[in-house]
Amino acid sequence: MVGRFSVLVRICFAFYASLAAAKAAQEPLLQQGYRVGEKIPVSCLNRTIDTGEHITDATGQLSYIPFPTCNETGRPLELVFGVEKDINCTIDFIDDPFFHLLEFYVHNDAPLTCRIPTKPLPPSALKDEFEKGTKDDTDGQGSLSEVYTPMVVALAGTLQLSHLHVATSMNVLVHAAPKSVSPGTIAAATAYSISREPPTRIVIGDPLPLQFSVRWYPNTQLPSGWTGVGGHLTFSTLVYCVISALASAAICVAYFRGVELPRRLKSHGKDRLGGMERGGLGGYGLGPGMGNGYGYGIGKRD
């Protein structure tokens, strides 16, 4: 009887274990949301160097590979969730295949299409993301995915016969979904070159110094940044000037009424008292044995 009971317990345990494994296998890759400061890997679409076309497998799925390794960290490019900072990523050596891909990217013959996980990936998937690259879980045509958020990098520059000029300073804008909707979730991302510095001249064998200025937004709305009049006078500047003028006028009035005006009144009063004491009757007083102030005496003649 005891033996049968133990066998029944083992069968039940094995059954529940199989159910748990099946449930885990059916769970999506998406986990709970990112925490502030958590690293986000960047992977990019694998392309051929001959035509710039994307590479797919036998089933038609797109092939993604990790972003080139940054010399500063020894790892592919990573963003940090919710942290705004400048990231330097120097690609140490531009070989011949990558140089031809840069020609496609700069000439806009093919975009530098990258992506970042919408939410943290499981450790196994994250390892594949860094080491072997991954395949797109969509229909292979670049459609939207719940697992990844696209991040197209608009790399600007000019083509020359023997070299490239690449604008290596880039802005990276990342939108997170509102906390009330889906905390720790990435909603959108993009990156583009800016003309902060002169473009970098690149030939085969040179390093490519990329500088990413990363900015995060807590929702999918962009704040209004252009409120100027003619590009120079802004509303805040106008208000500041008006307030400064009013404050200066108030200080001047207070100084005049509290300091200058009493001082002048006091000085004027002293002057009037002094004049009366010296001349009497407004300066027409008669002194002893003197005339009426005009040199005509009125005393008695002998």
Q: Is the pLDDT of residue 276 over 50?
A: yes
How confident is the model over 7-53, as pLDDT tens digits? Answer: 554 655 555 555 444 444 444 445 689 999 999 999 999 999 888 88
Distance CA 152, CA 88 (A): 18
What separation in angstroms does the CA of 23 have from each of 17, 18, 125, 282?
10, 9, 18, 113
* Segment 271-290 mean pLDDT: 56
How confident is the model over 202-258, as pLDDT tens digits? Answer: 999 999 999 999 999 999 988 877 765 555 566 777 788 889 899 988 898 888 788
| CB-based contact 104:53 (threshold 8 Å) | no
**pLDDT above 70 as % of the chain:** 69
Q: What is the pTM of this model?
A: 0.63
Instruction: Provide the pLDDT for residue 28.
Output: 47
Q: Is the pLDDT of residue 282 over 50?
A: no
How confident is the model over 54-77, as pLDDT tens digits? Answer: 888 888 888 899 999 999 999 999
Distance CA 136, CA 44 (A): 11
* Segment 123-145 mean pLDDT: 56
Q: What is the DSSP string of 36-61?
A: TT-EEE-EEE-B-TTT-PBPB-TT--
Q: Which residues contact 213 (CB under 8 A, 6 or more apart)?
A: 86, 169, 170, 171, 172
The residue extents of the domains of the chain are 28-223, 225-272
Instruction: Provide the pLDDT for residue 225.
Output: 72
Q: Which residues contact 255 (CB under 8 A, 6 or more apart)?
A: none
